Amino acid sequence: MVLTTASVPDRDKVAYWNDAVSRTLVPMTVTPRGDGPFDGRIATERLGCLQVSTVEADAKRVSRSPAQIAGSSEALVAVGVQVSGTAVLVQDGRRAEVGEGDLVVYDTTRPYSFDYPRRFSTHVFQLPRRALGVPNDEIRQVTGRAIGTGDGFGSMLLPFLGSLASFSAGGCPPAVANRLAGNVVDLFATLIAERAHPDGAEEEARSHLVLRVLDHINRHLGDPDLSPERIAQAHRISVRYLHRLFEREGTTVGRLIRQRRLEECGRELARRGRTAPTVSAVAQRWGFVNPAHFSRAFRAAYGVSPREWRSLRTAQDTP
Whether residue 16 has pLDDT greater than 60: yes
For residue 95, give the CATH number of its domain.
2.60.120.10
Give yes or no: residues 190 and 207 share one domain.
no
Burial of 302 (0-12, 13-18, 19+ CB in 10 A): middle
**Same domain as 119, residue 240:** no
Cα 155 from Cα 58, distance rounded (Å): 28
Confidence of residue 281 (pLDDT cuts 50, 70, 90): very high
Size of the chain in residues = 319
Let me know whether 191 and 221 are in one domain: no
Q: Which amino acid is at 243?
A: H
For the residues of 200-233, what is the DSSP string, one character each? Answer: STHHHHHHHHHHHHHHHHHHTTT-TT--HHHHHH
Question: Is the domain of 132 the same as that of 83?
Answer: yes
**Banded model confidence at residue 78, pLDDT cuts 50, 70, 90:** very high
Give the model's pLDDT for residue 60: 93
Minimum mean pLDDT range among 6-10, 100-104, 202-206: 202-206
Residue 63 shares a structural domain with residue 189: yes
| Residues 84 and 185 grouped into a single domain | yes
Among the residue ranges 46-55, 80-89, 126-135, the one predicted with the least confidence is: 126-135
Q: CA-CA distance, 40 to 25, in Å (whole number)?
A: 14
Same-domain check for residues 128 and 205: no
- What is the share, in percent, of the chain residues with pLDDT greater than 90? 49
**pLDDT score at 169:** 63
**Tens-digit pLDDT profile for residues 249-279:** 778 899 999 999 999 999 888 877 667 788 9
CATH number of the domain at 308, please: 1.10.10.60
Give the pLDDT score at 201.
47
Phi-psi region of 261 (alpha: psi -120 to 50; beta: other; left: phi over 0): alpha
| Residue that terminates a domain, selected from 178, 196, 214 | 196
Q: 43 burial class (0-12, 13-18, 19+ CB within 10 angstroms)?
A: middle
In terms of domains, do 51 and 189 share one? yes
Confidence (pLDDT) at 23: 93
Give per-residue pLDDT as tens, 157-213: 778 888 888 876 666 788 888 888 888 888 888 888 777 766 554 565 567 778 888
Structural domain ending residue among the three candidates 173, 196, 219: 196
* Residues above pLDDT 70, as percent of the chain: 91
Alpha helices, DSSP H only, in the chain? 13-24, 66-70, 129-132, 136-142, 152-165, 174-196, 202-219, 228-234, 239-247, 253-269, 279-285, 291-302, 306-317
Task: Please indicate whether residue 207 or residue 52 has the higher confidence score (pLDDT).
Answer: 52
Provide the number of structural domains found in the chain: 2
Residues 117 and 245 in one domain: no
Same domain, 177 and 80: yes
User: Does the pLDDT at position 317 exceed 60?
Assistant: no
Asked if 186 and 227 sit in the same domain, the reply is no
Q: In what order do the strands lie in the sheet with 2-4?
A: 2-4, 40-47, 50-57, 120-128, 76-84, 103-107, 146-147
What is the domain range of residue 32? 2-196
Q: Is the pTM of this model over 0.95?
A: no
Strand bridging mode 50-57 / 103-107: unpaired
Q: Does the pLDDT of residue 104 top 80, yes or no? A: yes
3-state helix, strand, coil in the chain (%, to 5): 45, 20, 30
Domain boundary among 156, 179, 196: 196
Average pLDDT over residues 124-149: 86
Residue 45's identity, in one-letter code, is E
Average pLDDT, the chain: 86
Question: Does residue 307 or residue 274 have the better pLDDT?
Answer: 307
